[in-house]
Chains A and B, each alone.
Chain A
Amino acid sequence: MTTTATLAPVSLELRTGPRHWWAGFRSMITWHLVSLRLWLVLLAVVQVLSGVGFVLGFGLFFEQIPLSVALFVSTGVPVVNLVMTGMVLGPQLVADQKASHSFDFIHSLPVPHTASAAAWYVVCLIGGLPAVAVSLAVAVWRYDGLPLAVTPDVAPALLLTAFTGTMVGLAVAHAITSPMVTRLVTQVLVFAMFAFTPILFPVEQMPAWLGAVNSALPLRHMADMVRASLTDLPFENLATSYAVVGAWGLVCAVLAVRALGRRR
């Protein structure tokens, strides 16, 4: 061991500007990815169950599943895959860290809050996109002649869906001060996503009032966006869907970043 190597390289410069932001963004992607290492197996299992599981499982309800139903389910499942990491796993992780006060250290790192949130978004994409691909591939393999029609809109639809899911999750994780409440809200969200949201079944099959509630919430519109980009089914109010999902994403992003910067 040389003496020079133990010399502490004291950081003297104040770092600001886009290069500082970018450096923080990149290093936080690695940080977040490594943080998920222990959850990777769980995440993979959940993604497979809620993706491939639904795609195949729905087929079991029918002797001969109508292709229209198969198409509906197969194009709803990507939404579930995309929001799983950001909206479900993320808040649980943060709640754990807050409950044990180990979030204090992360909070003390010299990274702009926007860079940290953006890095988390990228990580959620990494946790979701492969699952989307696998779910769709399994659907094509299982259902002969599935009329998928992938359009270029798939990029904005998937990216925006993951963005809003992630930002809702960040807001739930940080704008809510009590980790217990965060956990509770997350669990309610998962439940509501599967049971009371027209992602895997058409909105016409739920009571009108529940459909109306869903029109103000992002999940239903995410499903419309994604479904429109993967099929040639007609959708009338796609612009509204993009607007609603985008608005939810933006509002939650602002809430989350402000909450990250809040000192008690």
Chain B
Amino acid sequence: MPTDTAMAFHAEGVTKVYADGLRANDALDLRIAPGEVFGLLGPNGAGKSTLVKQIIGLLKPTEGTLRIGEHDLVAHPEIARQLCSYLPQAQMPIDSFKAAEAIELTGRIRGGDRATVRARTDALLEALDITQWRDELGMKLSGGVKRLVGFAMATVLPGRLVILDEPTNDVDPLRRRLLWEQVRRLGDEGCAVMLVTHNVLEAEKSVDRLAVIMDGKIVAEGTPSALKAADRGQLRLQVMLSPGVETPESPEWVRHPVRVGNNLVATIDEDAASAGIDWAVGLMGQGTAEEYALGATTLEDVYIRLTGHASANGEDEA
């Protein structure tokens, strides 16, 4: 499909104030071009799903505009539902559907003809390595497989904008990789993809651009390498603390220390590398730490610096 820049997705000044007064989105501006995979990152409660639900017409923006090309998605939710396809963060209602049946039926509802939809369903089942469950009822599927079936439902006949709200939740690392490949492919075929995820390291490999959102505001936006540019000349110091110890005081030059479980992650200047090693070795000598690692900074470190949070699955493939 030719990339058709006239059909880019635009959000301008999108603000959502819930009935209880909570400002979940605060004047968000975004643009996603056809063919672009755009990552939306941010800690729990940042307002990611709120944004997504306004695009697909589940919520109405308090202020602001959402468009795909000339189409006003806020004024015409019925057009939004045709132009966008959507994988919600919540479970899919497919307990009584067989996996392949759910995917095919979604394709038919989205206006696909039988042959195309069937071929695409088989291809997706194969590509995600879930063919063995094609005739299994949704209620019997494991969480991860159900998620993958949901992904296939959302992309069997993708819209101009494909919205994926945490597609890799519960999915094992190998199939997660297969899923990212399919996401990449959607972009290659001209879809604009909005990808909500907590998995910073995996997102880094798959997205063209990303935005980090915090308390309803965008705190950073750009390509992964542009976002990492600010961290040039920095190193990541990771200290594995002994179970149960209190987080040790860190010297001033150890920046943005964040503890997740027993893992303490921080950034230091390249110049401070040997001081960092000495500090970590000292902690090990006191029995406070068990091991350490010093390496290049990743998008994860940028994310931690911006949000003060570690990303959800960022470490579990390391």
B112, chain A: closest CB distance, angstroms: 6
- Among A209-262, those with CB < 8 Å from B are 261
| Contact across chains for A108 and B92 when beta carbons are under 8 A apart | no
CA distance A2 to B96 in the complex (A): 30
Instruction: Assess the B81–A5 pair: CB atoms within 8 A.
Output: no
B276 within 8 Å of A by Cβ? no
Contacts of A107 in B (CB 8 A): 57-58
User: Using Cβ atoms and an 8 Å threshold, which residues of chain A touch B105?
Assistant: 27, 30-31, 34
Contacts of B97 in A (CB 8 A): 34-35, 37
Residues of A within 8 A of B111 (CB): 11, 15, 20, 23, 110
The answer to whether A110 and B96 have CB atoms under 8 Å apart is no
Pick from A44-52, A95-103, A160-168, A197-205 the stretch touching chain B. A95-103
Chain B residue at minimal CB-CB distance from A94: B93
Contact B91 A24 (CB under 8 A): no
Say which size band chain A's interface belongs to.
35 or more
A175 at the binding interface (Cβ < 8 Å): no
Which residue from chain A places its CB closest to the CB of B19 in the assembled complex? A264
Nearest CB in chain A to that of B84: its residue:
A108
Is B312 among interface residues, defined by CB-CB distance under 8 A? no
Closest residue of B by beta carbon distance from A116: B109
The A-B contact count (CB < 8 A) is 136
Roughly how many angstroms separate A15 CA and B58 CA in the complex, as a whole number?
20
B interface, size bucket: 35 or more
Give the residue name and chain of the A residue nearest to B186 (CB).
A8
Identify the stretch in B39-47, B116-124, B218-226 within 8 Å (CB) of chain A at 4 or more residues. Answer: B116-124
- Chain A residues in the interface with B (C-beta under 8 A): 1-2, 5-12, 14-15, 20, 23-24, 27-28, 30-31, 34-39, 97, 100-112, 261, 263-264
Binding site for A on B (CB under 8 A): 1, 19, 53, 56-60, 77-79, 81-93, 95-97, 101, 105-106, 108-112, 116, 119-120, 122-124, 126-127, 137, 139, 150, 153, 155, 157-160, 182, 185-186, 189-191
20 A-B pairs besides A10-B159, A263-B59 with CB distance below 8 A are A8-B158, A10-B157, A12-B1, A15-B82, A20-B111, A23-B111, A24-B109, A27-B109, A30-B105, A35-B96, A39-B96, A101-B89, A102-B88, A104-B58, A104-B88, A105-B88, A106-B93, A108-B84, A109-B81, A109-B109
